[in-house]
């Protein structure tokens, strides 16, 4: 492991691969196994580094025999990163692309196990006026009142809005209900000359943009 510590010291944490980063976090003097092999196995069993961070403590401590303390260390590191990302996203002043939206909203949505729907309220020059959670629901669905969405846009004098919600238990592909919601919000907003710029679905597997997919 000395070479990994040397790499961290000389080239910084950003130079580490996912496996190397995890290896340094799970390294333990009480475990005679190679920490890199343990890290590789944890990622393989979980599917990705992001999936490791979303594990319940009770389950994570059993993976590769990590134990309570090392499992706690991993989840604390993940939560630290999430809070830094949220603090950084608070500095965002404008939104131009779906990638900007994902960067802004993923820290809020990645760690929850239920669906939430948010609305970004924008000026005509894409300046962010406000982001607001408008609904939260179960694992597979959430209900959004289009009247409240439009009402808040009028209060803020917003001329553009972006819908964002998460799929905590599946892929980012939209459901029939997602498509119906998009149409309903778009039509309601248009009555007041407010434009629905995009509806973006965020999941652990990636994200889906209605506009990029020519559904808006």
Q: What are the DSSP calls for 135-157, one per residue?
A: EE--SS-----HHHHHHHHHHHT
R_g (Cα) of the chain, nearest Å? 20
CB contact at 8 A, 201 and 174: yes
What is the tens place of the pLDDT at every residue in 161-188?
999 999 987 789 999 999 999 999 999 9
Closest by CA to 174, choosing from 103, 123, 115, 112, is 115
What is the tens place of the pLDDT at every residue in 16-62?
888 888 888 888 888 888 888 888 888 888 888 877 877 888 888 88
CB contact at 8 A, 207 and 177: no
CA distance 51 to 32: 25
For the structural domain made of 93-209, what CATH number should be given? 3.40.140.10
Q: What is the pTM of this model?
A: 0.66
What is the tens place of the pLDDT at every residue in 102-156?
988 988 888 788 899 999 999 999 999 999 999 987 545 567 899 999 999 999 9
Instruction: Output the pLDDT for position 142.
Output: 65
CA distance to 16, 96, 100, per residue, from 34 (Å): 17, 45, 39
**73 in helix, strand or coil?**
helix
């Amino acid at each position: 492991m000395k070479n990994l510590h040397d790499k961290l010291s000389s080239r910084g944490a950003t130079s580490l691969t996912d496996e190397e980063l995890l290896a340094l976090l799970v390294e333990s003097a009480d475990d005679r196994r190679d920490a890199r092999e343990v890290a590789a196995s944890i990622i393989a069993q979980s599917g990705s580094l992001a999936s490791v961070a979303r594990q319940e403590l009770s389950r994570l401590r059993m993976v590769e025999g990590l134990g309570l303390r090392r499992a706690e260390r991993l989840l604390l590191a993940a939560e630290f990163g999430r809070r830094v990302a949220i603090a950084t996203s608070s500095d965002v002043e404008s939104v131009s692309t779906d990638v900007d939206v994902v960067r802004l909203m993923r820290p809020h949505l990645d760690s929850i196990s239920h669906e939430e729907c948010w609305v970004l309220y924008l000026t005509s020059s894409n300046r962010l006026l406000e982001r607001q959670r408008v609904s939260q629901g179960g694992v597979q669905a959430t209900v959004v009142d289009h009247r409240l969405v439009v009402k808040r846009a009028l209060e803020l004098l917003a001329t553009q809005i972006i819908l964002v919600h998460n799929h905590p238990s599946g892929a980012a592909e939209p459901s029939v209900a997602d498509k119906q919601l998009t149409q309903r919000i778009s039509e309601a907003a248009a009555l007041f000359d407010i434009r629905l710029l995009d509806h973006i679905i965020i999941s652990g597997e990636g994200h889906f943009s209605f506009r990029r997919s020519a559904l808006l």
